[in-house]
């Protein structure tokens, strides 16, 4: 039980970090440079915030509902995949910055 609570706390903290990273100036600048859909970025932030709220409720329900426990396990993997993707995006943004700011990568 304690390990599960620690795991959910880690997921919760990861979602908060993802929200911060998605709304960072560097991330938004890269989106603009690549001419990507900014409303899509805001939808991602909204989804992460909703997920954070649902996660807090699910932690309480997982004790009595094995399906919720399985959902939380799947969520953990999805959050880790999202973190990996944002790491790749950050790496690309840094590469673009090092190559020159007036150049679109």
Does this model's pTM top 0.75? My answer is no
Distance CA 82, CA 17 (A): 11
Asked if residue 105 belongs to a domain, the reply is no
Distance CA 99, CA 91 (A): 12
Give yes or no for residue 5 having a pLDDT over 60.
no
- What the block records as the tokens of 36 is 């990507």
Q: Say how many domains are in the chain.
A: 1
Asked if residue 45 belongs to a domain, the reply is yes
Residues with Cβ within 8 Å of residue 27, at least 6 apart in sequence: 21, 41, 86, 89, 90, 93
* Direct distance between the N- and C-terminal alpha carbons of the chain, in angstroms, rounded to an integer: 47
Asked if residue 15 belongs to a domain, the reply is yes
Q: Tens digits of per-residue pLDDT, 56-89?
A: 777 778 778 888 888 888 888 888 888 888 888 8
pLDDT band at 32 (very low <50, low <70, confident <90, very high): confident
Range of the domain at 73: 2-99
Asked if residue 28 belongs to a domain, the reply is yes
Asked if residue 104 belongs to a domain, the reply is no
């Amino acid at each position: 039980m304690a390990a599960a609570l620690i795991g959910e706390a880690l997921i919760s903290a990861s979602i908060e970090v993802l929200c911060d990273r998605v709304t960072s100036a560097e991330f938004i600048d890269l989106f603009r440079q690549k001419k990507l859909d900014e409303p899509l970025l805001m939808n991602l932030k909204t989804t992460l915030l909703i997920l954070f709220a649902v996660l807090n409720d699910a932690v309480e329900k997982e004790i009595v509902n094995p399906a919720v426990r399985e959902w939380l396990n799947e969520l953990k993997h999805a959050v880790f995949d999202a973190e990996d993707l944002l790491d790749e995006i950050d790496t690309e943004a840094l590469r673009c910055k090092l190559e020159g700011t007036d150049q679109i990568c």
